[in-house]
C-alpha cells in the first residue's frame, strides 16, 4: 500500500487540480440531476470523523465547501455530518445521506473497517464514494490523503536530529494514534522505519481515539515507569496528543522538556513550537487535499472520469487499485514557521504571536 510519492509528482498533481477547477461547470439538466460534463445542482455528502482535532471544522469542511461551490458555480450543496469519533453514528449518518439521495459521498472514516458496510450500501444505491484522508474499506471509487507513511518518517527523522548524541543513551516514548485509523498504523510504521535500531523505545502506546487526555494519562504512566530523567524524547503522532504529553512532562516537574513531535500544524502546536515546548509538527497543506476530494466527488457525481486528477493507485485491505491523489507533508520547526503556515495564509503572525508568545516570536524573527 502507498507506493512512495515523489514531491515532483505531487506538485504536478496539485497544479492539475488547480487547472481543472476552473474547467468544469455549465448548464443545468432539465431535472437538475448530474449528467456528463455540465454544471448541476449536486448534493455532496461530507462526513468527517471528529471535532477535537482542529483541522476538520476549521480547514477541511470550509475548504471542501468552497471547492464544491467553485466547481459547480455555486449550484453544489454540501450536506455535512461530524461523527464525533463514534463509528456507529457515522454509519447511520451515511444511511441518512443515502435516504436523502446525495449524489456522491466524501467520507473520512472514524473506523476504516466499521464503515465498509455503509460504503457498500451507498454503492448499491448508486452513490459513488470518495475516501477522504483515511482509507475507508469497502468499494470506494477514489481516495485522497497525504503520504502517511512518509509523514511518520518525517516525524522520526526530526526526532533523531533533535536527539543527536542523546539517542544512544536515553529512551524515547512513542505515542501513536488510534488503532481504528489506518493512518495511525502508517505514521507508526514510518516512524519505526526511521527510529528502530537508532534509539531505545522505552514505552509505546496506541492511544484510544487520539484523545489528548488519553495521551496525557499514557505519558504520566511512562514517566513513572521509566523515570523522568531517562526520557530523552517523545514521538507523538499528532499535535493534540503532544499537548497532553507536554502537560504531563511539566506536571512531572521537568525543567527542560525533551523534544516532542506532532502533526497537523494546529495553532496551539505552532505556538508551542515558537515557545520551544514542542519540537516539531508536520504541516499538511489541507487546501490541495480538499481540492482533490471536491474535484473527484463532483466529477464522479457527474459521471465523468477522474484520470486527469489522480497521481497513483493505492490498495486497501478490501479494494485493489483505488485511484488516488497523495500529497506530501512538510516538517515544521521554529526555523520555518514563516515559510510554511504564515506564507500559505493558514495563520497570520498576529494569530500566532499573541501576548503570551510575543517575546518568543521576536526571538525567531517572526513579525
Ligand atoms: C489522522 C489525520 C491527522 C489527524 C488525526 C487525528 O487520520 O490524518 O491529520 O487529524 O487523524 O484525528
CB of 60 closer than 8 Å to CB of 290: yes
As a whole number, mean pLDDT of residues 179-191 equals: 98
pTM of the model: 0.88
SS3 letters across 266-315: CHHHHHHHHCCCCCCEEECCHHHHHHHHHHHHHHHHCCCCCCCCCCEEEC
Alpha carbon of 45 to ligand 1 centroid (Å): 20
Sign of CA dihedral 319, 325, 331, 332: negative
Those residues whose C-beta lies under 8 Å from the C-beta of residue 264, and which sit 6 or more positions away, are: 53, 54, 55, 238, 239, 240, 281, 282, 284
Percent of the chain with pLDDT over 70: 89
Q: How far is the CA of 48 from the centre of ligand 1 (A)?
A: 11
Residue 37 Cα, ligand 1 centroid: separation in angstroms? 34
What SS3 state is found at 196?
A: coil
Residue of minimum CA distance from atom 10 in ligand 1: 53
Q: What is the pLDDT averaged over residues 140-159?
A: 98
Cα(149) to ligand 1 centroid in Å equals 13
pLDDT reported for residue 207: 98
Mutational pocket test of ligand 1: of 85, 264, 281, 330, the residue with most ligand atoms within 8 Å of the beta carbon? 264
Number of H helices, E strands in the chain: 14, 12
CA dihedral 95, 101, 103, 108 (to 10 degrees): -20
Please state the atom number of ligand 1 nearest to the C-alpha of residue 52. 12
User: Between these two residues, 25 and 161, which has the higher pLDDT value?
Assistant: 161
Q: Is the CB of 211 under 6 A from ligand 1?
A: no
Q: Which of 85, 133, 154 to mutate to test the pocket of ligand 1 (most atoms within 8 A of CB)?
A: 133
Here the cell at position 216 is: 496525557
pLDDT-based confidence at 247, cuts 50/70/90? very high
pLDDT digits (tens, 9 = 90+) for 158-182: 999 999 999 998 999 999 999 999 9
* Ligand 1: residue whose CA is nearest its atom 7: 183
Q: How far apart are CA 173 and CA 362, in angstroms?
A: 32
pLDDT at residue number 263: 98
Helices (H), the chain: 7-21, 55, 61-71, 87-99, 116-124, 148-163, 166-169, 182-195, 212-226, 239-251, 267-274, 286-301, 349-352, 358-363
Exposed e or buried b per residue across 36-54, where buried means at least 16 C-beta atoms within 10 angstroms of its C-beta: eeebbbbbbbbbbbbeebb
**pLDDT exceeds cutoff 60 at 27:** no
pLDDT of residue 35: 45
The pLDDT mean for the chain works out to 91
> Averaged over 334-358, what is the pLDDT?
97
Q: Which residue has the cell 455532496?
A: 44
* pLDDT one-digit tens code per residue, 294-307: 999 999 999 999 99
Q: Which of 55, 155, 283 to mutate to test the pocket of ligand 1 (most atoms within 8 A of CB)?
A: 55
Q: Is pLDDT larger for residue 367 or for residue 161?
A: 161
Q: Residues 208-237: pLDDT tens digits?
A: 999 999 999 999 999 999 999 999 999 999
Please indicate whether residue 111, judged by its CB atom, sits closer than 6 Å to ligand 1.
no
pLDDT at residue 255, rounded to an integer: 86
Amino acid at each position: 500500500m502507498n507506493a512512495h510519492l515523489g514531491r515532483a509528482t505531487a506538485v504536478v498533481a496539485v497544479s492539475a487540480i488547480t487547472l481543472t477547477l476552473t474547467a468544469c461547470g455549465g448548464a443545468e439538466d432539465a431535472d437538475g440531476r448530474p449528467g456528463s460534463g455540465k454544471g448541476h445542482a449536486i448534493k455532496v455528502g461530507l462526513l468527517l470523523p471528529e471535532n477535537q482535532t482542529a483541522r476538520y471544522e476549521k480547514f477541511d469542511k470550509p475548504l471542501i465547501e468552497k471547492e464544491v461551490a467553485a466547481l459547480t458555480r455555486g449550484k453544489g450543496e454540501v450536506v455535512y455530518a461530524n461523527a464525533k469519533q463514534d463509528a456507529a453514528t457515522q454509519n447511520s449518518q451515511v444511511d441518512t445521506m443515502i435516504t436523502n439521495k446525495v449524489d456522491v459521498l466524501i467520507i473520512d472514516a472514524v473506523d476504516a473497517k466499521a464503515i465498509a458496510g455503509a460504503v457498500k450500501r451507498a454503492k448499491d444505491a448508486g452513490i459513488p464514494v470518495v475516501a477522504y484522508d483515511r482509507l475507508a474499506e469497502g468499494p470506494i471509487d477514489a481516495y485522497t490523503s497525504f503520504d502517511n507513511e512518509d509523514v511518520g518518517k518525517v516525524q522520526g527523522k526530526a526526532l533523531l536530529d533533535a536527539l543527536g548524541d542523546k539517542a544512544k543513551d536515553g529512551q524515547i516514548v512513542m505515542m501513536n494514534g488510534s488503532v481504528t485509523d489506518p493512518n495511525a498504523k502508517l505514521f507508526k510504521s514510518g516512524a519505526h522505519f526511521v527510529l528502530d535500531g537508532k534509539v531505545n523505545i522505552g514505552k509505546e502506546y496506541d492511544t484510544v481515539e487520539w484523545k489528548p487526555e488519553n495521551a496525557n494519562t499514557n505519558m504520566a504512566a511512562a514517566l513513572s515507569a521509566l523515570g523522568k530523567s531517562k526520557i530523552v524524547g517523545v514521538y507523538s503522532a499528532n499535535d493534540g496528543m503532544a499537548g497532553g504529553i507536554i502537560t504531563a512532562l511539566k506536571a512531572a516537574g521537568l525543567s527542560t522538556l525533551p523534544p516532542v513531535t506532532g502533526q497537523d500544524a494546529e495553532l496551539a502546536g505552532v505556538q508551542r513550537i515558537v515557545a520551544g515546548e514542542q519540537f516539531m509538527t508536520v504541516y499538511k497543506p489541507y487546501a490541495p487535499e480538499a481540492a482533490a476530494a471536491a474535484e473527484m466527488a463532483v466529477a464522479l457525481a457527474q459521471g465523468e472520469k477522474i484520470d486527469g486528477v489522480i497521481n497513483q493507485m493505492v490498495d486497501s485491505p478490501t479494494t485493489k487499485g483505488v485511484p488516488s491523489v497523495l500529497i506530501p507533508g512538510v516538517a515544521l520547526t521554529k526555523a520555518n514557521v514563516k515559510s510554511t503556515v504564515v506564507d500559505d495564509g493558514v495563520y497570520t503572525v498576529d494569530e500566532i504571536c499573541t501576548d503570551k508568545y510575543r517575546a518568543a516570536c521576536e526571538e525567531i524573527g517572526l513579525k
